[in-house]
Structure 1
């Protein structure tokens, strides 16, 4: 009879409805298997059309279900890959693909749990909010064009008013991130000291990318120092103004004295003031308004595979900069952290274990305090419901759960235990001057005062530490709000029905 009374109470009905909505928000799909492609660096696979988001099922006849399966795969002279979209095969003994475990829910794990690289960037000059908005937009576009889709970018301020940009990227090395977002990306093509065109949309109409007919690695060979070097090249299409500038500058040049097939000066390519490459200009291009320009550059390594990978990486970076443009101002890397996916997985397992032990410990303490099993079950149900709903809200709003956010969840659940004890003490008090409703009103007055105090304490943390502890503040506020308006009333309902004589 009491069970029916409990579940027919409007406070329990609200809790059940919220739990069902949480399941919808999280959208669990535990049956999904495979490894998801984050980024493809293998030229043969790029030519065949493999891209990010594909789920790898089989490599060389072996089923791939975990990151360990992917790491332990035995490669031969020929590599066969089956994904959820297509089959791929190529000759080679390397597998240059960045992968992650397939998402089995809408829960987004932060850098601490999923692994990756976190960078805190600060402008080298004083900038406005509008300039930071522009930086945010350009940075997202640059990383997306480069092929890094699993990322999180947000603006942040510290308590001193300094502006920052926090970038979290899965599937990228520190060197890649440092080169890609630590550089302003100011590209210039010069003949002598005169600028022919720059890496902005007003000069460049189109950049050939992911098309083997107009981009790729043209040649590889040995160089001094027991090194291998490969050269990449890709075509860009200039605007009419840039083509006219090219004709104007080449029209002033004479033929090369030692080789009449070329003009007397080369066209030099600079990135952030450093020379990337120099190309001869054909004598037949003298004074000609040509829109198609071939841009090239080197890549090096201790062997041919490393040189090829380096050339592809450099080409991808330069193509990205030319497609997106330079950043509006120079940036300083304030802090950079990198966490491996395996370490993140260990973090997640340890947190789950510690959380379970914490709930068990609280249940034991409550039993020691009240010596009544009727109180333990509602307390455990309330704590677990609260954690589940907080995670569901985070999934719904797209917030990534990192260590700071999980600390906030634990903090909010801790305040929830305090509130449960307040409710239980009031309900079990022997004061006959109050009826049940008065006792609960008295308890909830204390709870609401504590709630507003907690929220007020969390607000300054929103921008503290350049936003690095924002996850703690957010999940704490979400947790105590859910507790006060959903789980605490449900707990009070259960206690009232179970203990009322």
Structure 2
């Protein structure tokens, strides 16, 4: 008996299970589990494209948003397309309005980046070759360094030759091909030299954006909706800036997009113009850049009232430049916070369900075989399997949501069925001579594992379909189910077979 016990613990399958189990427990001790939005809480954001798009374009939107939000550093991001205009974004562990607003700003930033000089666009986001880590200074100024292509640098150098002090503008999502209706004071500011850096003789900001982006700026003078619609006949959108909001309702029947931009409390004309145009700058051309020598390394800078705002502004610019542009503009139309308190209740319920499932497995197996020596190893193996799955999830920082936990329970249920197959095969043999018995055991184990591998293959095939072709919570269910099945067939099931052979005296 001692020799048989010694041989059991020296079996490589038992050793593998032991090492993986110890590793999983150690991982859970140093890297706590992370949970999805339905358990940890978070924010659900509904965004809408500015016009219906086809399936390929919507997939580009989903992929770009996923990449952009990953760059931002948030965890457990789910981006789902809902029809041809709606995108649902769920982000776990977001509990403050400031965090949610930062995500909202990233979603609504299409990320179309332009570099313009004298009304000529000399570079776009495609010319951005490298984006450096943003920097925040003690006075809450920030900078995002990046490198532009050689062709863009050469084009700018040619445009800026002998024009030291002239303004260089950088735009993020400007209202291209639009009619902008503004108040009289805003119009005067845009048409003055206020945005001309150190060159009053340079074209005004209004002249530059008209030439570069086909933007027409008109002063609001109580024009009717029909008159404004006529002015916007060749435009893609109408932007109402610092004018009565009632005008937006009057333009509902116009066949172009209408956007209303109110003035924030205490906001100056300068700040309002910068916000509407997505303008960064103007930056003054230095003497060194006016010589005609190309310069590829540039940066966007800004100033914020406090460090938190500076971090958010710099992070947004960094993310947009890093991840590229969206194929269509998105607008956030709804936002809902999910309380982590509700999730805590779900977590406890899932824990109780898991414990209940293990107890049910123990009792059912006992009543089936009337033998605790079989029931205890079956239930213990299921427990080990759950610990290993959780350890692996902690290792890769997989965010567990309720469907993921359901997948773990489903995988354990499948594992119990396979352990019963192994046990029944071992109990079904006849004890003859030692050689015959050993041959019989190998044949019965072969039959058992044929059934196990066939069952695992069909389960993995079905779950792989969900993993590849579905989005959202079904992915979590599919992933943990596949993970549980793989751990079962390669680690826990072979180890249980050795334990069962030992218990049933099958050497």
TM-score in terms of structure 2 length: 0.58
1:151 matched residue in structure 2:
75
Deviations 1:146-169 (A, max 9, x none): xxx4424477789x9999896534
Residue 16 (1) aligns with residue 14 (2): no
Backbone CA RMSD of aligned residues: 5.3
Residue 415 (1) aligns with residue 414 (2): yes
Q: Assess, with a 3 A threshold, how the Cα gap between structure 1 residues 415 and 334 changes in structure 2: closer, same or farther.
A: farther
1:387 CA drift (Å): 0.7
2:269 matched residue in structure 1:
278
1:479 CA drift (Å): 0.7
Residue 140 (1) aligns with residue 53 (2): no
2:454 matched residue in structure 1:
449
Deviations 1:319-375 (A, max 9, x none): 444444464333556996643233333322221121111101110111111110101
Structure 1: segments with no counterpart, 5+ residues: 30-104, 144-148, 216-233, 257-261, 298-307
In terms of fraction of residues, the more strand-rich structure is 1
CA separation in 2, counterparts of 1:286 and 1:456? Answer: 57
Q: Give secondary structure in 2 for the equivalent of 1:328.
A: coil
1:413 CA drift (Å): 0.3
Deviations 1:284-314 (A, max 9, x none): x9997589999679xxxxxxxxxx9xx8876
Q: Assess, with a 3 A threshold, how the Cα gap between structure 1 residues 275 and 486 changes in structure 2: closer, same or farther.
A: same
Residue 171 (1) aligns with residue 97 (2): no
1:375 matched residue in structure 2:
374
Matches within 5 A, 1:35-114: 105-114=31-40
Residue 462 (1) aligns with residue 467 (2): yes
1:54 matched residue in structure 2:
none
Q: Give secondary structure in 1 for the equivalent of 2:108.
A: coil
1:266 CA drift (Å): 9.1
CA separation in 1, counterparts of 2:21 and 2:282? Answer: 73
CA separation in 2, counterparts of 1:438 and 1:296? Answer: 76
TM-score in terms of structure 1 length: 0.59
CA separation in 1, counterparts of 2:166 and 2:505? Answer: 93
Instruction: Choose between structure 1 and 2 for higher RCO, CA contacts under 8 A separated by at least 6 residues.
Output: 2
1:132 CA drift (Å): 6.6
1:62 matched residue in structure 2:
none
Q: Assess, with a 3 A threshold, how the Cα gap between structure 1 residues 460 and 121 changes in structure 2: closer, same or farther.
A: farther
1:210 CA drift (Å): 4.2
- Which of 1 and 2 has greater Rg? 2
Q: Assess, with a 3 A threshold, how the Cα gap between structure 1 residues 375 and 236 changes in structure 2: closer, same or farther.
A: closer
Residue 473 (1) aligns with residue 478 (2): yes
In terms of fraction of residues, the more helix-rich structure is 2
Matches within 5 A, 1:18-37: 18-24=20-26, 26=27, 28-29=29-30
1:81 matched residue in structure 2:
none
Q: Is the 8 A contact 1:236 1:292 kept in 2?
A: yes
Q: Assess, with a 3 A threshold, how the Cα gap between structure 1 residues 425 and 337 changes in structure 2: closer, same or farther.
A: farther
Q: Give secondary structure in 1 for the equivalent of 2:471.
A: helix
The number of aligned residues is 378
